[in-house]
């Protein structure tokens, strides 16, 4: 890159030209460093809520990974400073809103990069402070950007990627929790095991469906309740079709995971430097469309786990199958679990609203030069909201299912589910009389986030 600049007057986008629709403005060699610094300053216009610390740390890791392939034209010193941030848990303050998910996650990545030049804020050892204070503490000199460095830092999909990876990690856990809690609900409802039979799924061998049915057979092995004779011939869909519904979400997670594993091992800035070919090519690897569509899909898949969960909660409190209304021994004076179902319904409804796809939207920017954008960052941030709501929905189902199992005594569910429920009861005891159930829901959410499956 340095050789190209020194030996040629040929314009190289973002190196000796302006940015976006200003690509036709040539910049003198004396101003190349200032150009890159100005870029980071001018693009740091994020707003809204702050990006959670664990996602900021993922952004740092993914930016380091992408730059380290050597196709971005950055100094080793810049990448090493980002590694220092990561290893010392120095987390720049980044804001959720401002990225269109094309030209990269410009505004969020500008905030991630500000501390390199002694600007912006960071969190360090539990304290929020100006970057200048942090650099003084660490005895770090600000980085002097070379040609293209600001652009390399700002172009990229690291906000979308970090949110996606975070949501996938939680999504895989939530899928397992949905199955474990769903199995407990099935026994609490005195449901039938036949819909989970291997022979049923052998003739429709969708990958996720087969896996979920197998998991339920394992989870319920040895249950007194599942083995007892049944008075009813069929269960409602929210129980009978768990393999098909949970399985479809599982298949969606597999698809999204494959996309993101490719993305986080890619170079996503612009222009790209190819020393061996002696080429610098301005292209579009920063465009977030490959992530925006899967992020919307991931949100839908996770929301459906909550949708069917709430229906099981509703069935359990309905007074069916010899269970008391609202799962309380003395209904009337006690409302029991009437209102947690309302809360679950509210959360499910909100998730449906979050499932409106962001990836179908595009608003022209940069005077028409950037005329199609992915809105993948909005897809990313709303998918995290779906994840958080799903923990709450499943927490309510777990409270309900555990309560229902108590009314099946002396019969027991499987040994595994009894152990799971026993650990849960240390956090949320049986509901004898009405109490403030907000606390139970909060404790159940904490349990789900901490439990090892």
Enzyme catalytic residues: 13
CA distance linking residue 425 with residue 358, whole number of Å: 40
The answer to whether residues 250 and 305 touch, using CB atoms and an 8 Å cutoff, is no
How many other CB atoms sit within 10 Å of the CB of residue 232? 11
**Apex 293 CA angle, 291 and 295, nearest 5:** 65
If residue 89 lies in a helix (H) or strand (E), which one and from where to where? none
Give the count of alpha carbons within 13 A of 401, CB side only: 32
Q: What distances in angstroms separate CA 259 from CA 127, 291, 361, one per listed residue?
A: 36, 7, 21
Residue whose entry in the numeric block shows the structure tokens 């390399």? 152
First to last CA, the chain: 50
Q: Which of 356, 366, 355 is nearest to 286 (CA)?
A: 366
If residue 445 lies in a helix (H) or strand (E), which one and from where to where? helix 437-450
Q: Which of 28, 32, 21 is nearest to 150 (CA)?
A: 32
How many other CB atoms sit within 10 Å of the CB of residue 367? 10
The answer to whether residues 104 and 154 touch, using CB atoms and an 8 Å cutoff, is yes
The runs of H, that is alpha helices, within 8-75 are: 32-43, 53-67
CB within 8 Å of 117: residues ≥ 6 apart: 37, 40, 142, 143, 145
DSSP 203-257: TS--HHHHHHHHHHHHHTTT-HHHHS--S-S---HHHHTHHHHHHHHHHHHHHHH
The answer to whether residues 83 and 140 touch, using CB atoms and an 8 Å cutoff, is no
- Torsion angle defined by CA atoms of residues 19, 25, 26 and 29, in that order, rounded to the nearest 10 degrees: -50
CA distance linking residue 313 with residue 345, whole number of Å: 10
Q: How far is CA 216 from the centre of its chain?
A: 26
Question: Which tokens belong to 232?
Answer: 């009813």
């Amino acid at each position: 890159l340095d050789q190209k600049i020194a030996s040629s007057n040929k314009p190289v986008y973002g190196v000796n030209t302006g940015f976006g629709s200003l690509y036709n403005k040539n910049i003198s060699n004396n101003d190349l460093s200032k150009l890159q610094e100005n870029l980071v300053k001018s693009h740091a216009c994020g707003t809204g809520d702050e990006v959670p610390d664990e996602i900021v740390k993922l952004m740092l890791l993914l930016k380091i990974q992408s730059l380290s392939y050597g196709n971005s034209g950055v100094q080793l010193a810049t990448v090493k400073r980002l590694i220092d941030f990561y290893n010392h848990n120095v987390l720049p303050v980044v804001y959720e809103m401002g990225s269109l998910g094309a030209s990269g996650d410009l505004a969020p990545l500008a905030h991630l990069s500000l501390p390199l030049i002694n600007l912006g804020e960071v969190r360090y050892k539990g304290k929020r402070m100006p970057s200048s204070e942090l650099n003084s503490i660490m005895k770090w000199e600000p980085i002097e950007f070379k040609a293209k460095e600001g652009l390399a830092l700002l172009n990229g999909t690291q906000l979308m990627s970090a949110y996606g990876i975070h949501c996938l990690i939680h999504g895989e856990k939530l899928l397992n929790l949905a199955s474990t809690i769903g199995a407990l609900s099935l026994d609490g409802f005195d449901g039938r095991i036949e819909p989970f039979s291997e022979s049923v799924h052998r003739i429709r061998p969708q990958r996720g469906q087969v896996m979920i049915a197998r998991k339920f057979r394992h989870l319920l092995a040895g249950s007194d309740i599942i083995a007892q004779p049944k008075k009813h011939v069929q269960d409602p869909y929210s129980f009978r079709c768990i393999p098909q519904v949970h399985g479809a979400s599982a298949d969606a997670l597999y698809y999204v995971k494959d996309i993101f594993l490719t993305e986080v091992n890619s170079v996503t800035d612009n222009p790209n430097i190819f020393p061996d070919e002696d080429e610098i090519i301005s292209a579009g690897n920063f465009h977030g469309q490959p992530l925006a569509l899967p992020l919307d899909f991931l949100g839908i898949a996770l929301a459906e786990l909550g949708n069917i969960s709430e229906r099981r909660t509703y069935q359990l409190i309905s007074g069916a199958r010899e269970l008391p209304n609202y799962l309380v021994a003395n209904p009337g004076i006690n409302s029991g679990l009437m209102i947690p179902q309302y809360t679950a319904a509210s959360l499910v409804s909100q998730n449906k609203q979050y499932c409106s796809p962001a990836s179908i939207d595009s608003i022209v920017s940069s005077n028409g030069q950037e005329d199609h954008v992915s809105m993948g960052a909005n897809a990313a941030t709303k998918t995290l909201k779906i994840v958080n709501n799903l923990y709450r929905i499943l927490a309510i189902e777990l409270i309900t299912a555990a309560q229902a199992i108590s009314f099946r005594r002396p019969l027991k569910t499987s040994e595994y589910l009894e152990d799971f429920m026993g650990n849960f009861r240390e956090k949320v005891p049986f509901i004898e009389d009405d109490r403030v159930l907000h606390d139970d829901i909060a404790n159940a959410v904490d349990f789900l986030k901490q439990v090892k499956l």
